[in-house]
Chains A and B, each alone.
Chain A
């Protein structure tokens, strides 16, 4: 067993009663390197300063109390090893701060009611039973229960909310945790209002189309819930299965990305707006709303050009990739779209580290609603190996 080693913590402290600003507080503790940051904080609290505020209970990544930011990345303090935290520290000192996107109450304790739980409430977070309720259990496909177990595995720690970039820009965004909660019902064959739930979240301008695919919530989640993947699944259910064309144009905007990459191999910025409004048709370019949106977007387009994010030539002419590569892209589309059923990867079925058994065992087919003929690629990133703690 490893020897106890010295580690230094730099804790973000804030005393709301002092009238003073937040400050940094350093403590050196002694623990084996594979022990957790939480154990280190608890040792500092026990030995040096009992006033260090942090919520915690189980110490085993199941109660979800100790969400914090460690070296700027969100996660559970109990689920982050000291040696690893030290490796990631910029100056060898492990920095622990309260989570972001939520008001700080004291030290490492944030107000989850004001943000996280309010958003959970927003998605009608209880089962609306399909009638009639059977005398015994609902008989449902085995896979459907395993499938939603992934979002049931959410421990409501708030790590994904902490660093959600969309929420930073739009505090009203329903956000990753609440979306995962919503999928738990949309994917539950016992729920009677899947369409209504999807329509609600698609039509809400702060709903599922507000996510920008930044992957931060997938990185942050200590339980492999992969909230962004659940958001994408909500979109597929809404757009592809239930044909919900939301007023925010989210569904068409997303499908514009898909068809552009199919046609050009890469994103074609100038085509994005027209297609988002007018669809694939050539005449779509003259959709009046596209013009209005173009005018509306001119300032940000100008900014993007000035910062060199796009060049006018590439934007207008489109990116060119070698024709063989384009053919390969099209082959991928053909294969995926040619499937009869949509494959959804699921952590509980596929495991996490390798795909050894994938050869014999196909991933679960999501038990979705009607009209599952269109295909989507499986989701990336459901890999807890990529989480900050391990």
Chain B
């Protein structure tokens, strides 16, 4: 049986950074991912990474912007760590080979980004996530003798011992269908977000909330689940992401009357207000009949005001996306966008070293986790930073913890259970009352997007809860077509659907619970922020009957008290 000091699930930025840090700290390390590491969704992060590296900047300014962006729900101890360690992390990335854009004097160039009080976003054209991900993978190849890679292995469960500590995982080799139990002193979840709960979404098809659901099922607390980020600029038709870098470079948002409507909503920051603010402004314009395009469901993003040479150099990817996926030359005409699901601020609750409270040996980092540095709303270019800082901290902490432990032996019972569960799915027959997995997934995404989006209210949320619970029942008899073992993506899709349904239910429950408007959660029936009652996190844990238990935890304050939030 494979056994490692530190076993990392997920090989995006958080996972790879954790693996390298744990290996540097002397641990035996393995990294496991259901896709090849460079396919991880970190690859799609476009705009950049925030760090106060300009000598005129200060990490405290970055921290304050982040706190304000979070609508004061972010935990300030974690935010201080993230922002103060950011410059060192960006320099580390530069040293291992990330090809950050330079200014005329050959130093790192910085671009403007939403919600930031100064230019502090380092970038590689608009492929920053890809560039960092591929450079980390270069390092993993360099570390090939020190980090074992299980590429295209699908994790099905966490394994706990009798005391409730995490001692390994069960996984399936996608290529052969073989099941295996892995023992580990520590498991770091770095398996990303859950965007596929929504349709459309900017997230890849692999973002199915696996880690959040696995931890939740293992009894770990999850937090801030109601905080779902809608990105202001996604293509109307298919939800593809247009980077915030476009607005960072100066692009305008225009309504049907050709007005830069952001001056009504955020007169100072205009298009570069934080994402929740811009998305709400756009949705308001659309709802009030000033949208553009078919059904007036969109807003114009006008990139033609950016010099063409600059667009071709620094926004190359969206030039291609415009051309290939919307038939628009963004250097010559505006492109039609709208708010679209993009990111989940919530996730598996952790401390500042990535440790999950109540489950010794379990860590989480990146989008799967909730430290919480993003609180009610994440600033653009803070997500890459979050993955790297807390990925590294988790890796280092887990390696140190492993040094004083003996290797546990994960029993095979869970593997048998998971193998039986998969065999049962494979053997289900299509019946008159059973549905296809793909139909359920489609209904889930459409329902979530219609009811748990930018503007929410009790009736919509209750309707969503009803649908999610019905779909959960239907998924128990849903059938698949593939009966094979080699690359049976069909059966894995059924397991992913289970993860998505669990995660969706917690999102809706938390959104119902929070009876105020803060950050990404806007309740039209409770339109005000209510610090007296709701300046707190909503935690969810699963009890023995599989039901969600709601509790609250305090927001950590260090130096910034809540104030009115204006941009």
Contacts and interface: CB of A to CB of B under 8 A. Distances in A.
Contacts of B489: 50, 53
A135 B92 CA distance: 10
B106 interface: yes
A133 interface: yes
B39 A57 contact: yes
B238 interface: yes
Contact of A46 (B144, B309, B436): B436
B324 A390 contact: yes
Interface string B22-42: 000000000000011011110
Contact of A188 (B97, B175, B480): B97
B94 interface: yes
A156 B35 CA distance: 13
A15 B39 CA distance: 24
Given A127-B97, A149-B99, A348 B484 contact: no
A357 B308 contact: yes
B447 interface: no
A16 interface: yes
Nearest to B139: A126
A352 B482 contact: no
Contact of B321 (A34, A60, A146, A154): A60
Given A58-B44, A127-B97, A348-B313, A149 B39 contact: no
Given A127-B96, A137-B107, A142-B103, A120 B141 contact: yes
Contact of A155 (B130, B321, B438): B130
B486 A106 contact: yes
Contacts of A324: none
Interface stretch (A19-27, A61-69, A292-300): A61-69
A153 B487 contact: no
B41 A63 contact: yes
Interface in B89-129: 91, 94-97, 99-109, 124-125, 127
B320 A61 contact: yes
A10 interface: no
A153 B321 contact: no
B493 interface: yes
B130 A139 contact: no
Interface in A1-21: 1, 15-17
A36 to B, nearest CB: 8
A308 interface: no
A98 B455 CA distance: 44
A350 B394 CA distance: 42
Given A57-B35, A126-B139, A136-B91, A63 B97 contact: no
Contacts of B36: 65, 112
A50 B482 contact: yes
Contacts of B108: 137
Contacts of B107: 136-137, 139
B106 A141 contact: yes
A272 to B, nearest CB: 39
Contacts of A45: 438
A109 B141 contact: no
Interface string B10-29: 00000000000000000000
B481 A153 contact: no
Contact of A142 (B104, B135, B485): B104
Nearest to B437: A50
A145 B144 CA distance: 27
A152 B481 contact: no
Contacts of B548: none
Given A16-B486, A34-B327, A137 B94 contact: yes
Interface residues of B, number: 77
B204 A51 contact: no
Given A50-B481, A105-B487, A58 B204 contact: yes
A279 interface: no
Interface centre among B97, B317, B480 (most CB of A within 10 A): B97
Contact of A1 (B94, B125, B294): B294
A152 B124 contact: yes
A153 B97 CA distance: 14
A125 B127 contact: no
Interface string B282-314: 000000000000100000000000001100110
A357 B438 contact: no
Contacts of A47: 436, 438
Contact of A109 (B97, B294, B487): B487
A333 to B, nearest CB: 31
B96 A348 contact: no
Interface centre among B43, B131, B139, B437 (most CB of A within 10 A): B43
B38 A51 contact: no
A384 interface: yes
Interface in A33-64: 34, 45-47, 49-51, 53, 55-64
Nearest to A140: B106
B60 interface: no
Contacts of B103: 142
A347 B53 CA distance: 29
A81 B325 CA distance: 9
A142 B481 contact: no
Given A56-B205, A138-B94, A153-B127, A63 B312 contact: no
Interface string A212-242: 0000000000000000000000000000000
Contacts of B135: 127
A51 B481 contact: yes
Contact of A63 (B39, B125, B309, B486): B39
Given A50-B490, A60-B44, A153-B316, 7 more contacts: A50-B481, A51-B483, A59-B205, A105-B175, A105-B487, A139-B106, A389-B324
9 contacts: A50-B437, A50-B493, A51-B483, A53-B489, A59-B204, A112-B36, A121-B141, A126-B138, A141-B102
Top 6 A-B pairs, shortest CB-CB distance: A51-B482, A46-B438, A127-B97, A57-B204, A50-B481, A50-B490
